[in-house]
Chain A
C-alpha cells in the first residue's frame, strides 16, 4: 500500500503539469489508455469446489491485520446475515466475503467468494481524479491512500460494489479493498493469502490467459458440472478473477447485466465532446458578440440618421 512514486516527485510532476493541464486536458482525456498486461495474474474460483469454510476470509483477516470479527470464522449462522435484505458485502473490515446461495435446481448450497476482481480495465482506476489506483503488471489493482481525497467516485464506478470507505474515521478515512496481497505477497512471488488458505483448491492462482484455458478445459470435460460461462472473461472488459459455477450466474448473486466493454466506454461520449467545446465555443461566441455589437452600432446610426432627417424635415 506504499506510494509507488515518492510524494515529492508527485508534487513536482503535479505542479509542472497543473498549469498545462487545463489547456491540454482535451488531449489527455482522449488518450486515456489503461495498460493491458498480457502476463497479468489472476485467480480462478471454482464454485463447485467451495464448501463455504471461510478459511480464505480468516486468512485475509490475518494477512491484512483487520480487527477480529464478532463471530468466529467457523460460525455458519453468519450466512443468514446481511443488511437491508441483501447478502454481506465487503466493507472496511472485510476485504473478502463468502456468501451462501441455495439455488432451487441443485440439492446443495453454493458459496460465492467476493473480493476485488482486479479488472483488466478497472472502473475505479479510470474514475479517480487523483490517480490513486494503479494496475500493476502482475494484474493487481492497488490503491494509494496518500493521495485519495475521499470523494468516493470509485465506489460509484465499480460495477461489482467492491471498494468500501472507512467512514468511521475522522482523520484517516480511506478506501479499503482487496489489494491482491500485492505488497506483502504478490510482489515477492508468493500466493495471495486466501488462495494459500483454501483447503479445497477452489481457488487457483496463475496467469490469466492460462486460467481461462484451464476453465475452458474443465467446462468441456464435465458439462454436467459447469454452466458454459466463465464469469469475468469479458465482464466489464475482463477481470483477473474468474469464476466457474454449476448454475447460471445470476442465481448466485452475480450481476449478469454488466456490459462486456469497459465501464469507461460509457463515459467516452462525454470525454470526446470536451475538445470540441474547447475549440468551437470561443470563436463561435466571439462571433455572436461581434454580430450583436455590429447590429447595435447599425441600430444606433440608423436612429441618428432618422433624427437628423427629422431635424431637416422640421
Chain B
C-alpha cells in the first residue's frame, strides 16, 4: 500500500470524496482506492500474506475435516480434558484481551477523558473482534455448533455460569457493534444515521461495563465448578472471578497498546494526524492505567493464597511454576510499565504490554489445560488442534487488518474533499 501513496495524490481513501471533489465509488473504498490489478499486486507482494496462505493451506482442510469427521479427527478428543486450545486460548484467552472496548468506552464517554478519544475506536474494534472470534472458536469447539442459540431460546439453564457468559457475550457483541456503527456509517457515507447511536451511547457504555464485569468474572467462575481438578494455586473459589476481571483490565489495555503500535508502525499511511500525534501520550496513559491494574492483580493473587492458606504449595514444583508465571506474566510487566511511564518511554511500555499479553494467555492456558487435572497425566494438544487455533487467529488478523485499512478507526473521516 505504502508504495502507491506517492503515485496517486488521492490516496489513501480517508473521506467520501477525492481531493478533486469527485466521490469515491464503493468498489474504490473496498479496494483502498486502487485498481483491482494494483490491489492484487500489493497483496501478492506482502510477505505476511505468504505466511497467511501457508497457514490457510493446511488450516482450511483441517476445518473441513473437523466438520465432516467430528472433533476427534482434529483433537485428541479427551474425556479427561474436555476443554482444549479452542476454548483455552480462543475463549479464555481472547476475551480478556478484548476488554479494551469497555475500558476505553468508560474512560472517554463516562469519565469524559477526551484525551483518549483518538484511540477509542481502535479499542472498540479490538474488543468487538476479540469477542467475535471467541465465538468463532466456540463454533469450532462446540459439539453441536448449530445449537449455539439454544441456551437463549430453546432450553434455558439460567442458574449456570455458562448461561451468563452466553447471554452476556451475545448482548455485549451487539452493544459493541452498535458502538462501532458510526464508523461504518461514515464509511458508507450515511452520517445522518450516526445520530441515533450517539443518543444512546451513554446507555451503551454503561451496559458495556455491567456486561463486561459480569462475563469476564463469569469466565473465571466457570472454573470454580472444578474445585478438585485445578491446582489450588490457580483456583481460588472466592477470588477467581476477581482475578479474571482484574487481569482482563490490563490485558485489554495491553492489547490496544500493541495493536496501536503495530498499526502506527506497519500501516502508518492509514493513521490520521490526530492518532499519530497523540499516540505517544496515549500509550503512556494506557500504560499507567495498566500498571495500576497489574499491581492490583498481583495483590489479590497474594491475598487469595493467604486466604486459602496455600503457602506451603509454593515450595512444591507446582509452586515454582506458579511463581514463574507470576514473575514473568505479572511482576516484569509491572516493573516495565511503571518504569516506562515514569521515564516517558513508550518502547518500555510497549514491551511491558507485549509481555503482559503473553502472561495473560499463559495464565488462561494454565488454568484451562496445564494445571487442570494436575493429579492426572498431562494432555498435549494434537498438532491439528494447534494448527486450527493458529488458522482461526490468522483469520482474526485478516479481518482486523481489513477493517482498520478501510473504516475510520485510526483516522477521522473527511466529509468534505481535502484541500490538496
Contact = CB atoms under 8 A, between A and B. Distances in A.
B379 to A, nearest CB: 8
B83 A152 contact: yes
Contact of B214 (A127, A277, A288): A277
B106 interface: yes
Contacts of A28: 158-159
A123 B229 CA distance: 13
B79 A155 contact: yes
Given A149-B144, A168-B72, A270-B241, A18 B152 contact: yes
B376 A84 contact: yes
Contacts of B156: 13-14, 17-18, 21, 129-131
Interface string B210-244: 10011001101111111111000000011011000
Contacts of A286: 202, 206
A173 B144 contact: yes
B266 interface: no
Interface in A37-94: 84-86, 89-91
A179 to B, nearest CB: 17
B153 A277 contact: no
Interface residues on A, range: 35 or more
A31 B68 CA distance: 41
Contact of B377 (A84, A132, A259): A84
A269 interface: yes
Contacts, number: 215
Interface string B252-266: 000000000000000
Contacts of A90: 79
B57 interface: no
Contact of B241 (A11, A25, A91, A273): A273
A150 B79 contact: no
Interface stretch (B164-172, B325-333, B338-346, B402-410): B164-172
Contacts of B213: 277, 281
Contacts of B377: 84-86
A21 to B, nearest CB: 6
Interface stretch (A101-109, A205-213, A216-224, A291-299): A291-299
B312 interface: no
Contacts of B229: 156, 159
B272 interface: no
- Which 9 pairs, one residue from A and one from B, show the smallest C-beta to C-beta distance? A150-B143, A167-B77, A32-B159, A84-B377, A152-B82, A270-B221, A167-B72, A129-B163, A155-B82
14 contacts: A18-B153, A127-B160, A147-B154, A149-B151, A156-B222, A159-B229, A173-B144, A259-B227, A269-B238, A270-B218, A277-B213, A281-B210, A281-B213, A292-B112
